Chains A and B, each alone.
Chain A
Amino acid sequence: MSDYDAIIIGAGLGGLACGAILAKNGIKTLICEQANGCGGCCSSMEQDGFKFDIGPSVVEFKWVWDVLFEKLRRRTSDYIDFIEIDPIYSFITSDGKRFSYQADLNKTRKTIKMLSEEDARGWDRFADTGSVMADIFFKSSMFSPMMTVFDMILFGMKNPMLSFKLKYVFINFESALKSFFKSEAVRSSMGMHAYYLGLPPALCPGYAVFLCYTDHEGLHYPRGGMVSIPKGIEKAFIEENGEIRYGEKVEKIITDGKRATGVKTASGEEITANVVISNINAKTCYLELIGRDKLPRWAVKAIESYEYSFANPNLMLGLKGEIELDAHHTVCHSTVDDMNRAWFDYCMKGKIPDRGFMLLSCPTIEDKSLAPENHHCLNIVTVAPYRLSGGKDWDHIREEYVESRIDIVEKEFRLKLREKIVTAKLNTPKDFERMLLQPEGAIFGLQFDNMSSMVFRPRIRSGAVKNLYLVGSSTHLGGGTPTVTASGILAADIIMREKFNA
């Protein structure tokens, strides 16, 4: 007899979603989370009366949580209060010009027309293709397990339109953008979506371009901060008699031959279970928690071959008074070339880029409860390498980094910040690593491209270790709040079918 039916390592969105469905189905489930609260990347922290989001700042595909709560026989709105965000983006160029994209496709068309008459027609084509691609690449694939070639064939058969759109798999994001838009200004306004998959426009798969379209199907923010999403799921999990232990780091996954049988915690306790579910980075799960010596050589080589995804330092500022921003998300405009340069000439060489990707996120525009009256929260999110060149270390360059980011925003994008700052907190890639045990502060777990996605990404049902399942950003569909939640839903369905005959 095992102590639990299922043990989940990590209370990120993937682990919580999976746990809630298992618990709902009467499976005795324990979640071990090393931190003192839930959510992992998708959590918030408080400082001097401000509530800051440490990771994500908005969600796409809100319906994924409707699917989850439907499976839990509950209403999403009783657990999470989503606020719609519109305009979905605002842009500031270095000469101080501003423009916004609204959720409404026609309003965005008008904005694009101001930038380029020709690209307004490109926008119509883009939106038409985007709605088909959203259905195939994002919606249908979200709940397809993609563990074997047969899953892929089945997926292809269910989505016959896929064959007409396959070209977007084989070209890069930059080429896909060029096939719709001629003006550099329009292309640049959409280029940063490549970084949503964690890669620059030159390396990111072309189909990701349609995330620029899916934004228009609705961007949302949960009232009370991003942590309200995992908190809502945690509440449902506990209501279903799920057990969650905070401050409980799992040090080892116990195996018997090629079978996972439980976990060993940092305090030395051994807990047995019929199924072990990992919501942590797949490389850590396999190479450290299972251990290289317990895995076949081919599996070690395969797991080692994955690169970690990129890192996002996040500078959180509490500001007093009015803020000169008109949207939740403001993008400091960069060209597509700058976005590529940020990766190849800077990040890959251990240098911090000054341009290429800078996102200003101001959730207090919609949700005033996050800051004291007449104050705002502002996150400045950029891309940067984990390993710095020239013997530099993130712990030693914190102040220099903070000052330089504020300088860029003030001088290049003409926003007054310094005089308004009441409180500041920087999370560097190293901080992410320490807080969440996410190696290299990799915000999306493993890098995501054609060679590390679908059947080539670590499977939900481990191929190397029996009774081990994986959820979260290291698995199919990669990082992002809706995709990891979907991975948890998928995993729970598979586990229920395979292990508990449901």
Chain B
Amino acid sequence: MLKKIFPVLILLGVAFLFVKYMSASESKKRFIKHLLKQVQYLPGRYFA
């Protein structure tokens, strides 16, 4: 049961975040984009 609900919950979560992002002000969008752009570097930055 939990196995079936889990992906649905994740999808709902992603959809919620997407809607939140789309309705955010330009300033907030810029802030989020600026941070997301750097996520890929975090593991390397952590160990350097």
Contacts and interface: CB of A to CB of B under 8 A. Distances in A.
A299 B44 contact: yes
Interface in A281-302: 286, 298-299, 301-302
A452 B44 contact: no
Specify which of B35, B45, B47 lies most central, judged by the most chain A CB atoms within 10 Å of its CB: B45
A449 B27 contact: no
B19 interface: no
Contacts of A299: 44, 47-48
Contacts, number: 62
Interface string A463-484: 1100000000000000000000
B1 to A, nearest CB: 33
B31 A452 contact: no
20 contacts: A171-B31, A172-B31, A202-B31, A301-B41, A302-B47, A303-B48, A305-B41, A305-B45, A449-B35, A449-B38, A450-B35, A451-B42, A452-B45, A455-B46, A456-B42, A456-B46, A458-B48, A459-B48, A463-B47, A463-B48
Interface string A256-271: 0000000000000000
Interface string B26-48: 11101100110011011011111
Contacts of A306: 45
Classify the secondary structure of B's interface with A. helix
A365 interface: no
Contacts of B42: 451, 456
A33 interface: no
Contacts of A305: 38, 41, 44-45
Interface of B: 26-28, 30-31, 34-35, 38-39, 41-42, 44-48
Contact of B45 (A171, A202, A340, A457): A457
B48 A452 contact: no
A344 B41 contact: no
A172 B45 contact: no
A175 B28 contact: yes
Interface of A: 171-172, 174-175, 201-203, 286, 298-299, 301-303, 305-306, 340, 344, 449-452, 455-459, 462-464
A344 B31 CA distance: 12
A302 B27 contact: no
A455 B27 CA distance: 26
A188 to B, nearest CB: 14
A456 B45 contact: yes
Given A203-B30, A344-B30, A451 B41 contact: yes
B23 to A, nearest CB: 14
Nearest to B44: A302
A302 B41 contact: yes
Specify which of B28, B30, B46, B48 lies most central, judged by the most chain A CB atoms within 10 Å of its CB: B48
Which A-B residue pairs are the 10 nearest by beta carbons? A302-B44, A451-B38, A305-B41, A172-B31, A202-B27, A302-B48, A456-B45, A463-B47, A202-B30, A302-B45
B41 A172 contact: no
A452 B38 CA distance: 9
Contacts of B38: 305, 449, 451-452
A175 B47 CA distance: 32
A458 B48 CA distance: 6
B34 to A, nearest CB: 5
A340 B31 CA distance: 11
Given A301-B44, A451-B42, A463-B47, 5 more contacts: A172-B27, A449-B38, A451-B39, A457-B45, A463-B48
Contacts of A449: 34-35, 38
A459 B34 CA distance: 22
Contacts of B30: 202-203, 344
Nearest to A147: B46
Contacts of B27: 172, 174-175, 201-202, 340
Contacts of B39: 451
A286 B45 CA distance: 13
Contacts of A174: 27
B26 to A, nearest CB: 8
Nearest to B37: A451
A357 B14 CA distance: 38
A339 to B, nearest CB: 11
